Structure 1
Amino acid sequence: MVRSPLFLRLFSAILLTLGLFSSAVYLLSVPLIEEKAYEIERDASRTILDNVFELVSKIRGGLEEQRTATVESYKTRLRDMVSAAAGYIDHVHSRADRGEITREEAKRQVAEGLQALRYGSDGYIWATDYQSVILSHPSPDYQGHDKSDLRDNTGRYILPTIIATARREGDGFLTYPWWRPNGDERAPKLSYFRDLPQRGIVVGTGAYLADVDAEVERRKAEAIEDLRQALRNLRIARTGYLYIFDSANRMIIHPNANIENTAFGTLVNPVTGKPIAEELKIAAARGEPLTYLWDKPDDPGNYAYEKISWVRHFQGFDWYIASSVYVEELRRSSVVLGNRILAIAVALMLTGGVLGYVAVRRLVGPLRRLADTAALVRAGDLNAESGIRRDDEIGQLAAAFDAMVGRVRGNIATLDSRVRDRTAALEDANTRLRAAVASQDTARRALAEAEARQRVILDAIPASIAGLDCAERLTFANRRWAELVGRSKAEVIGQPLAAIVGRRAHATLSPHLDRCRAGEAVTFEYSLPRGGRTLITKTTLIPHTGADGAVAGLFVLTLDITDEKQTERQLVEAQRLKAVGQLSGGLAHDFNNLLSIIIGNLSAARERYAGVEGLDAYLEPAQRAGRRGADITGRLLAFSRQQPLKPEPIELCGLLRDMAVLLRRSFPSNIAITVPGEGPDASPPNVWTIADQTQLENALVNLAINARDAMPDGGRLDIAVARRTVMAEGVADSPPPDELPFDEPVRPDDYLELRIRDSGSGFTVEALARAVEPFFTTKAQGSGLGLSMVYGFVKQSRGYLRIDSVAGRGTTITLLLPRAEPAPHRADTAPPPPDALDSGWRGTLALVAEDNDDVRQVMRQQLVELGFSVVEAASGDEAAELVEQIDGLSLLVSDIVMPGLSGIELARRARRLRPDLRVVLVSGFSVESGEPPPDTVILGKPWDKRDLVAAIGRIGDPAKTPAATA
């Protein structure tokens, strides 16, 4: 076996192949792997350096953010202290205004009180008049002296600059050098000041910026210490490390604590003779690593070991961040890896040789036995067998050879028997063929029955289905598709599509048909006239591919989506009107603030200058314009659904009869008005709804006036009421299909349907589409807010609106309002008289919380005129702090919508602290921030002084309901 030529050739080839493969793998891979491993280790040190650089950048960014936050914190504290001081000054001078103390006593109390108001380590409050005479200062060198000649480093006068800025802008900040307490050194100081024009005083306070810098430096030192600890624990390879030095070559951070804070510039590169620090800076500027020779801890003084350093310059701190690692440590892992690859290659060669020997021997032995058996068969011995039993290819070859010899032997003996068996098999096949033909006939009949059932199903489903061939001839159509084109199924089958739908429609459909023939499924919408109305259909074209992959025809699926499109249009219109309403509500809120300022100042001017001849002729029209503006903002709030409402049960027919009496008196005699329950035999239905009665009356009057304007030559105005119940499927007793739907789908509930129908000129199609938009009108003179107010009131009352109109044939406006159960009649309570304010409140202290400075000034002035001493707050949070700090508060007047705490939250907190405190909340919106505390009055914007007096007078009245509206 060993001397077999085949064995020797195969085994030699295997050994040669293994040797060449192992050598090639080693020579081609090991040097490359060693170099790549070195580059990976080297780049890893640079990556670590980059991460530390990013960390230092974040430390710098955090310090800048900390400085900014610290400065803002100081500014906030300065504003708070000046606000408290201003309130105190105003309180003391108010006592002088009322005659309780003299003006000189007031000045003395202000000076002493401000000198006693100290905070922090050296914070104090100062005050000066407009002539730079300091009225209050903790230092006797300044108290009562004229300090207009004080200048900063640039020669700018300090106090005159502060006074001019305060009188021009109301308040402000200024940075200037100032002496530290108990010291001769001047340091930058940030001061905040505010003008008190009614007192002729500028009050302010300040803080030294050095305190801010000290805080930032402390944070920087803590961050550097954290960075130092992190770098000391960081290693590159085995002994490599990171260190940081500054531009002055002073070591900032180093793993060796003894080197930190020492001069780094004295160390010299032994190869170049230049300072190693300067070479590191040059490497940082070039963005390249620096390679140099250095010693080792275990071999000091022997500068024969190659080192590599990456350096980056961080300009924020003027630092140089560097890495340092021995090159041989970076290459150590690549050398170890190459030796391991060599060992693996040698082991593979040895293992391959042994396995090759065993494999070749196992292969050659059976082949030799098979060759001997073949020689016997060739000699004529048909009973010879190889005797080989294996499960591999050689075993299969031996078994096939033995089987072939056996088949030759068997074929000679059994040829006649196989001919007879073949004849019997042919007869059996003929019998199965006849049975298959019979089965095919049965399947054909079943297929015909299935097609008939399919046609019935396709005709019954609620969709239009058709089939087209590539020439656009109809190969199939169900009953609904034929009805859609106005034909019968027999008339459309086999006809061209253009002949069925018409040339104009076919021209519109052709681009979609071409895309489908190109193999694309296409979906599109198409409108067509049917029965006097327009149907909107959604059609899907699906390509039908044949066996060769080409498009052989088209399937057509068409759905009627007219109702879906109508519902979608209603929802889009409702969303559009809601967006316009939100914009209108925001405008109305801002105008309410402006009108509050205008009306309040006009009223104050009219009272104060009543004796000026001819002035009233100018103020009266301005006041009427202000009240007209208030009416317009009220209508805008109604449209935006943000007006304050008082919903209550209302007997609708009685309300309509009372309104009819007033309308007939003011309408022309050629306009007939009818309402439910009128006439000798009429019995009015007892129907109740939930709504704000005043707003409902305003809405009905607006609709009646619009109807009157639409009938200049006379006509009829009919108002009808009916009960409606909306089920889940739709509206019971629903209107005819040709009438317009409501503005949005109606929720299932019980409703009252209120119809206002006139015989006037009606709306055009364009005007009807914009009927409820604010400021849109078809009248020559009109605000365009009538129908907008009606729409907003209906939506805020959880109702629905529909407008049916044809130009020249009149208009019908239908309102759906929630139905209510009958309620007992309640007697109206008369509002309190304007002089309900108790004179005992004069001289008491009131707190005004309002974020708008001008509105707050109007409220403050009116309260002062009523005898109150007033403290102001510009936010809910500031007001809450004053409630806690100031004793003797008797009245709180607060806006509802403010930054921070809302007015309602402020009222609740104030009531918990001071249960006897009287509260008036001011807003132009409906109360949506929560339920106000009991015995709280809500004053609507805009207001005048009489409204304020009435609101304060209502507080504590047992006859009023909680949270009454003034």
Structure 2
Amino acid sequence: MFRSRLFLRLFSAILLTLGLFSSAVYLLSVPLIEETAYEIERDASRTILDNVFELVSKIRGGLEEQRAITVESYKTRLRDMVSAAAGSIDHVHARADRGEITREEANRLVAEGLQALRYGSDGYIWATDYNSVILSHPSPDYQGHDKSDLRDNTGRYILPTIIATARREGEGFLTYPWWRPNGDERAPKLSYFRDLPQRGVVVGTGAYLADVDAEVERRKAEAIEDLRQALRNLRIARTGYLYIFDSANRMIIHPNANIENTAFGTLVNPVTGKPIGEELKIAAAKGEPLTYLWDKPDDPGNYAYEKISWVRHFQGFDWYIASSVYVEELRRSSVALGNRILAIAVALMLTGGLLGYVAVRRLVAPLRRLADAAAQVRAGDLNAESGIRRDDEIGLLATAFDGMVGRVRDNIATLDSRVRDRTAALEDANTRLRAAMASQDTARRALAESEGRQRVILDAIPASIAGLDRDERLTFANRRWAELVGRTKAEVIGQALMSIVGRRAHEALAPHLDRCRAGEVVTFEYSLPRGGKTLITKTTLIPHPGADGAVSGLFVLTLDVTDEKQTERQLIEAQRLKAVGQLSGGLAHDFNNLLSIIIGNLSAARERYAGVEGLDAYLEPAQRAGRRGADITGRLLAFSRQQPLKPEPIELCGLLRDMAVLLRRSFPSSIDIHVPGDGPDFWTIADQTQLENALVNLAINARDAMPDGGRLDIAIARRGVTDGLVFDEPVRPDDYLEIRVRDSGVGFTAEALARAVEPFFTTKTQGSGLGLSMVYGFVKQSRGYFQIDSQPGQGAADRGTTVTLLLPRAEPVARLPDLPTPTPLPDALDSGWRGKLALVAEDNDDVRQVMRQQLVELGFSVVEAASGDEAAELIEQIDGLSLLVSDIVMPGLSGIELARRARRLRPALRVVLVSGFSVESGEPPPDAVILRKPWDKRDLVAAIGHASEPARTQAQADAQADARGGGNEA
């Protein structure tokens, strides 16, 4: 075996490798490991120091947070004290407002109360008027004196600044220097103050910031004590420790309690002869450790032991945090580790040599037998075998070698037959390849035709479609997308998206593109300037996943939604105006009840006390104001579409010509008025009075918009609407009459145009602002549509305002014969009705009281009911009722349902229905009379008179039915 060259080479190589490896491990790793272990130990001390530094930083941060919390707590207490003082002031002045005490007594009680209101050790309340005269202060030096000249350290006037801030903001805080009670020095003080505008004073109180600082210092001392206990229990290595000193070399924290609070600036470094404290500060500034010689507790006075210290400066407290540990302790573990590694290396070398000998010997013996068999095969003996039977890699190699030799024998015998078979198979494969190439050409042509059809379809789709790869280069775009960016398809394919849409547009699209590349389907809207207008688009980005599942491209689908957005905005505006109308209608209903009470009582007072000299001069303006209020509620009802209307056929051209005569008489000669001349008639169904009022309102608005003169055109045209027309809301398809009122005035601003039809909004210096809102409400209640177009400016041909009304068109109808004019009614009913019994049904007690009083004055005996259900029971139980006066809107049965039930039970009963709305609960009985709120006594007399003429009322009902029939026919 020892004569085998392979054995000698392998075994020698193993021994040499083990020797070199062991030497290299020792020489390269042991010094490095020792140095690394030392650095780890040294850096561990620095890490502990850094942790303590972070702990001190958190303590400082906690103190700052605590200071903020303490200041906020003081602010809350100051607010509470000022709120209590303000409540006390309001309470005392409320007594004066009620007449319980005089105003002078109230001022005296307020001053005494504020001076008595003290809290804490030196907290008090002060008050000053707007002229800096102190109204309340515990010091007589300030009480009642003008202190507007007091200034702070910057020269700013204290009281004028407080008063200006309070009157502007309502309340506030201010820090300024102020004298402590019984002290000569001024200290910073935080004051809170509040304006009491109804009293004309500013009230405040304050707290000295020194109190806040004292609280923070107490918490700082507690935190330092906790830190001291923690550092005393902390050790680095075996005897190392941490300590803290300040910039004056005074020891703050040290494991030796005897050293704390002492100066150590005289201690000298034996190596340099310089004070240790100053060298530690220099090391902290450089961020490097300090090494010096020191003694040991078991060898005092012998300054021969090397120590190392890390130092960091904490500026928040002006502290220096330092570690201290002997270098010998840091190196002890590294030396022990190096010795252990050396012993392990020697043991490994010996063990490796022995194992190498065994392994090489076991490896070389079978290889020699395998080499002998290979030599026989090389000589031509294909029956040679190695004879090796093992279960390891060598055995596998020997088995493979024997098998290979056997297969070589078999392969030589069958090689010719296999070559022939392979040749036939190759010819068959060539035939199939030619067929596949022909099929591929057919599929390529079909694919090209399919792509052509897809391009035609995509170009015809009413949407902009494009494709992007992951680098935002366009891989596809249909004709509409190319037109959207102002290019052709050939110009955009293959280009970067930024170069097509521009940098600004790309910056706006970038967040959406990033979300889509992350796998999200993104939909957003974007506005593009096109032809002087803004094009609003809705774009959807769809990610396209690749074979690996990652997003490899983006699919872009863009739709033009400009018209939809415009329709949506107009619909929202219509809904807003409808909501405002509902609110206005509710207010008008409640206000009508109040006006009914006011007007009724004023009328009664004016009749009862007519002989009182001078009283009529007060009552008549009040009645006039009440009637003005009734007119305003009528306009509100018009806007809310709840005014009672009497629709009838109207020929508009004749109505406008009649109106033009009146307008020309009242308008200045500098305004030209043009109305339709002779021509075809235009008929509609509407309330003629309300239509005239609406057109007059529009004409007056036009006159006011042309103070220097101009032109007013009122035109009528027939307009058929199919789809897509939008006024204040989308117009339903039908035939309409279009009324255009155009002036050459100053026009509306954009802000005024947006609010033009809101109740009480006006651009005039006078007026209620209900003109356009009434016109709008009347048009909507008449099932019409409203639109304002305006260009600010005056004089130019394209400037001014155009108001367009769309009203339903009607076919021409024959005019109805005039009904007989009723005879004038007296202020009181005929004496034949005196003593008759009347039933008043009204849920509002005050309104019911007014109605009862007026009926009693007219000679009726009155029975009252607070609801429709109660009134129905009284009608069933009481005989001899001659008159029913009922509100339409009541709890339980409505007035209309009550009137129908009363007419069934008592056909001869006269009915008067009262309401400020149009009929709310259906059509009333044909001979019932509607009395609108608010009313006066003459309106009530007229209503009862009409209710007493059933024959004439029936004739009016028949005429109205004929008119409605004609309108429906149209």
Task: Decide which moves more: 252-261 or 101-110.
Answer: 252-261
How far 1:540 moved relative to its partner? 0.9
CA distance in 1, matches of 2:470, 2:558: 19
TM-superposition CA deviations, 1:120-175 (whole Å, max 9, x none): 99999999999999999999999999999999999999999999999999999999
Say whether the 8 Å CA contact 1:63–1:220 is kept in structure 2. yes
TM-superposition CA deviations, 1:472-509 (whole Å, max 9, x none): 22222221111111122222222222222122111111
TM-score between the two structures when normalised by the length of structure 2: 0.54
CA distance in 1, matches of 2:469, 2:336: 75
1:693 maps to what in 2?
688
TM-score between the two structures when normalised by the length of structure 1: 0.55
How far 1:76 moved relative to its partner? 52
1:737 maps to what in 2?
none
Task: Decide which moves more: 369-378 or 883-892.
Answer: 369-378
Change (3 A) 1:557 1:841: same
Change (3 A) 1:247 1:421: closer
Change (3 A) 1:411 1:641: farther
1:558 maps to what in 2?
558
How far 1:694 moved relative to its partner? 0.7
SS at match of 1:193: strand
* C-alpha RMSD over aligned residues: 16.7
Change (3 A) 1:64 1:943: farther
TM-superposition CA deviations, 1:344-382 (whole Å, max 9, x none): 999999999999999999999999999999999999999
Say whether the 8 Å CA contact 1:175–1:191 is kept in structure 2. yes
Change (3 A) 1:133 1:483: closer
CA distance in 1, matches of 2:227, 2:838: 55
Say whether the 8 Å CA contact 1:179–1:187 is kept in structure 2. yes
CA distance in 1, matches of 2:872, 2:293: 71
CA distance in 1, matches of 2:295, 2:875: 74
TM-superposition CA deviations, 1:672-698 (whole Å, max 9, x none): 1111116999xxxxxx10000110011
Change (3 A) 1:574 1:128: closer
SS at match of 1:756: strand
TM-superposition CA deviations, 1:704-724 (whole Å, max 9, x none): 100010011111111111111
2:967 maps to what in 1?
none
How far 1:749 moved relative to its partner? 1.2
How far 1:55 moved relative to its partner? 62
How far 1:453 moved relative to its partner? 2.2
Task: Decide which moves more: 901-910 or 190-199.
Answer: 190-199
CA distance in 2, matches of 1:294, 1:834: 127
SS at match of 1:61: helix
Change (3 A) 1:415 1:118: closer
Change (3 A) 1:63 1:496: closer
Task: Decide which moves more: 806-815 or 527-536.
Answer: 806-815
How far 1:826 moved relative to its partner? 2.5
CA distance in 2, matches of 1:336, 1:914: 124
SS at match of 1:960: helix
Task: Decide which moves more: 43-52 or 464-473.
Answer: 43-52
SS at match of 1:959: helix
SS at match of 1:582: helix
How far 1:18 moved relative to its partner? 60
Change (3 A) 1:246 1:358: same
CA distance in 1, matches of 2:254, 2:861: 66
CA distance in 2, matches of 1:777, 1:910: 47
CA distance in 1, matches of 2:256, 2:837: 69
Say whether the 8 Å CA contact 2:828–2:858 is kept in structure 1. no
How far 1:420 moved relative to its partner? 8.2
Task: Decide which moves more: 15-24 or 453-462.
Answer: 15-24
Change (3 A) 1:265 1:598: farther
Say whether the 8 Å CA contact 2:721–2:735 is kept in structure 1. no
CA distance in 2, matches of 1:888, 1:320: 109
Change (3 A) 1:441 1:603: same
Change (3 A) 1:637 1:12: farther
Task: Decide which moves more: 532-541 or 269-278.
Answer: 269-278
Change (3 A) 1:878 1:676: same
CA distance in 1, matches of 2:374, 2:866: 115
Say whether the 8 Å CA contact 1:762–1:807 is kept in structure 2. no
Change (3 A) 1:537 1:113: closer
SS at match of 2:952: coil
Task: Decide which moves more: 175-184 or 361-370.
Answer: 175-184
How far 1:217 moved relative to its partner? 70
Change (3 A) 1:909 1:361: farther
Task: Decide which moves more: 47-56 or 366-375.
Answer: 47-56
CA distance in 2, matches of 1:272, 1:335: 29
How far 1:22 moved relative to its partner? 63
TM-superposition CA deviations, 1:857-880 (whole Å, max 9, x none): 000000000011111110001111
Unaligned ranges ≥5, structure 1: 682-687, 725-729, 734-739
SS at match of 1:472: coil
Say whether the 8 Å CA contact 1:467–1:553 is kept in structure 2. yes
Change (3 A) 1:773 1:229: farther
CA distance in 1, matches of 2:45, 2:893: 54
Change (3 A) 1:268 1:958: farther
SS at match of 2:677: coil
CA distance in 2, matches of 1:638, 1:171: 44
Change (3 A) 1:529 1:288: closer
SS at match of 2:297: coil
Change (3 A) 1:843 1:189: farther
1:106 maps to what in 2?
106
Change (3 A) 1:652 1:391: farther
Instruction: Say whether 1:812 aligns with 2:802.
Output: yes
CA distance in 1, matches of 2:823, 2:99: 34
**Alignment of structure 1 residues 540-559 onto 2, 5 Å:** 540-559=540-559
Task: Decide which moves more: 72-81 or 454-463.
Answer: 72-81
Say whether the 8 Å CA contact 2:889–2:920 is kept in structure 1. no
How far 1:523 moved relative to its partner? 0.5
Change (3 A) 1:255 1:406: same
SS at match of 1:174: strand
CA distance in 2, matches of 1:377, 1:159: 120
How far 1:456 moved relative to its partner? 2.0
Task: Decide which moves more: 807-816 or 579-588.
Answer: 807-816
CA distance in 2, matches of 1:475, 1:630: 71
How far 1:391 moved relative to its partner? 38
CA distance in 1, matches of 2:898, 2:302: 79
Change (3 A) 1:299 1:586: farther
TM-superposition CA deviations, 1:633-680 (whole Å, max 9, x none): 000000000011111100111111111111111111111111111699
Task: Decide which moves more: 380-389 or 858-867.
Answer: 380-389
SS at match of 2:519: coil
Say whether the 8 Å CA contact 1:836–1:950 is kept in structure 2. no
Change (3 A) 1:447 1:676: same
Say whether the 8 Å CA contact 1:67–1:213 is kept in structure 2. yes
Change (3 A) 1:554 1:897: same
CA distance in 1, matches of 2:184, 2:635: 66
Say whether the 8 Å CA contact 1:847–1:873 is kept in structure 2. yes
Say whether the 8 Å CA contact 1:848–1:870 is kept in structure 2. yes
Say whether the 8 Å CA contact 2:267–2:276 is kept in structure 1. yes
Change (3 A) 1:411 1:862: farther
Unaligned ranges ≥5, structure 2: 791-795, 954-969
CA distance in 1, matches of 2:589, 2:768: 18
Change (3 A) 1:757 1:207: closer
How many residues in Structure 1 have an aligned counterpart in Structure 2? Answer: 945
How far 1:548 moved relative to its partner? 1.1
**Alignment of structure 1 residues 949-964 onto 2, 5 Å:** 949-958=941-950, 960-961=952-953
Change (3 A) 1:478 1:323: closer
1:42 maps to what in 2?
42
Say whether the 8 Å CA contact 1:243–1:253 is kept in structure 2. yes
Q: 2:721 aligns with which of 710, 731, 734?
A: 731
Change (3 A) 1:15 1:69: same
Say whether the 8 Å CA contact 1:762–1:811 is kept in structure 2. yes
Change (3 A) 1:746 1:150: closer
TM-superposition CA deviations, 1:210-232 (whole Å, max 9, x none): 99999999999999999999999
How far 1:771 moved relative to its partner? 0.8
Say whether the 8 Å CA contact 1:49–1:321 is kept in structure 2. yes
Say whether the 8 Å CA contact 1:91–1:870 is kept in structure 2. no
How far 1:433 moved relative to its partner? 2.0
CA distance in 1, matches of 2:904, 2:238: 68
Percent identity, please: 92
How far 1:471 moved relative to its partner? 1.9
